[in-house]
């Protein structure tokens, strides 16, 4: 299983690394570009290039499904299906802007393949009663099923909401996935560790293109599919609490925005929490109607450069990974 995981991860990384510049060239040719507003020169950057992560992950998942046993096949099919639905929603949103509510409702559909496969194979995909340190399995019955649709839509949208700076998505999600991979290994869930390895390799192969100064933008197709993949791994491989801890900065940022604007709104309709000075310094906009986001809190009134804020977010992500690993260790002790 480990050799297969290694080969699939290598192929995922290779496919992502090769396909990113090809997709970037295609998107630039089609005029599908975004403006990097955090740079003084405001360069035009091809967007929706996170599609390469979807292609890389699909390659890796198919290889694992072909080489794995029956149990792993079912889990990987559920994982891939959820991620592809999120990617489709992201791609639609990239080309035809959806309202915040419509996008959130559409991402709720990402849970459907997991529910269907859990009904078909109840011994393989076991839903319900997430495991928490000290307590053990939570006695959630009806509430679990009420919250389940948010298990994938939540992380997908949370990752999407924090993806506002160069490299922040691959760096934070890469660190979170690394933490989840170690957490899965601590708990002896090796199939979960392999799924995390696939995502980690795709994100690391994508990072050189998206890091500061970005040559490509992920678009919603990239951020929604990566967030959905993290959520799907958490549900399928029973790593819910570890994933929640590892994604703390994303959840924190999403909570601030949703609580502040009291609902789901398209980010273009929300007053900007930060502004960019002529030299590229990002500062708190001071607008009382704008939500308190993570970037706003980190930039503050004194301001900071884009790459400095990304490093600060990475610091928070590292501490969240440590919390996730502590939770995994506490769970394993029990």
Partner 1 sequence: MKGCNRRAIELSGIIGVLWALLLLILTIIDRGILAVQIGDPFLRGIFRVATSFSLIGLWLYIWWNITIYYYRRRVATERTSGK
Burial of 286 (0-12, 13-18, 19+ CB in 10 A): exposed
| Of 194, 320, 328, 331, the one binding partner 1 by CB under 8 A | 320
Smallest distance, partner 1 to C-beta of residue 290, A: 11
| Of 133, 190, 211, 266, the one binding partner 1 by CB under 8 A | 133
Smallest distance, partner 1 to C-beta of residue 275, A: 11
Sign of the alpha-carbon torsion through 226, 230, 235, 236: positive
Cis peptide before 230 (omega within 30 of 0): no
Smallest distance, partner 1 to C-beta of residue 168, A: 13
- In angstroms, rounded to a whole number, what is the distance separating the alpha carbons of residues 12 and 60? 5
**Pairing outcome for strands 136-137 and 274-276:** unpaired
Residues in a beta bridge with 139: none
Give yes or no for residue 146 binding partner 1 (CB under 8 A).
no
**Footprint of partner 1 on residues 267-296 (CB under 8 A)?**
277-279, 281, 283-284, 286, 292, 294, 296
| Of 69, 134, 146, 188, the one binding partner 1 by CB under 8 A | 134
Candidates 99-107, 174-182, 230-238, 301-309; binding stretch for partner 1 (CB under 8 A): 301-309
Residues in contact with partner 1, shown as a per-residue x/- string from 229 to 248 under the rule CB under 8 A = ----------------x--x
CB-wise, 215 or 272, nearer to partner 1?
272
| Of 96, 139, 262, 268, the one binding partner 1 by CB under 8 A | 139
């Amino acid at each position: 299983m480990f050799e297969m995981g290694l080969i699939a991860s290598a192929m995922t990384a290779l496919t992502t690394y090769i396909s990113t510049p090809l997709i970037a060239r295609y998107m630039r040719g089609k005029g599908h570009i975004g403006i990097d507003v955090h740079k003084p020169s405001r360069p035009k950057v091809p967007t929706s290039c996170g599609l390469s992560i979807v292609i890389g992950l699909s390659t890796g998942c198919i290889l694992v499904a072909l080489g794995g046993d029956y149990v792993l096949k079912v889990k990987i099919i559920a994982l891939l299906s959820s991620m592809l639905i999120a990617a489709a929603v992201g791609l639609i949103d990239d080309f035809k802007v959806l309202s915040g509510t419509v996008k959130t409702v559409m991402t709720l559909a990402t849970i459907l393949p997991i529910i269907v496969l859990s009904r078909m194979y109840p011994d393989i995909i076991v839903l319900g009663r997430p495991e928490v340190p000290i307590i053990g399995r939570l006695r959630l019955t009806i509430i679990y099923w009420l919250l389940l649709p948010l298990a994938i839509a939540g992380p997908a949208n949370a990752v999407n909401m924090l993806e506002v700076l160069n490299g922040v998505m691959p760096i934070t999600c890469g660190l979170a996935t690394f933490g989840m991979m170690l957490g899965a290994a601590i708990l002896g869930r090796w199939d979960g560790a392999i799924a995390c390895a696939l995502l980690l390799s795709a994100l690391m192969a994508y990072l050189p293109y998206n890091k500061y100064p970005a040559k490509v933008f992920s678009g919603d197709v990239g951020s929604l599919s990566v967030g959905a993949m993290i959520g799907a791994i958490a549900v399928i491989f029973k790593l819910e609490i570890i994933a929640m801890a590892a994604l703390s900065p994303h959840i924190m940022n999403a909570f601030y925005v949703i609580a502040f604007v009291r609902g789901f709104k398209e980010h273009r309709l929300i007053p900007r929490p930060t502004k960019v000075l002529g030299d590229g310094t990002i500062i708190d906009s001071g607008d009382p109607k704008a939500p308190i986001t993570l970037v706003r809190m980190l930039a503050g009134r004194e301001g900071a450069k884009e790459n400095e804020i990304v490093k600060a977010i990475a610091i928070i992500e590292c501490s969240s990974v440590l919390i996730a690993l502590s939770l995994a260790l506490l769970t394993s002790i029990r």
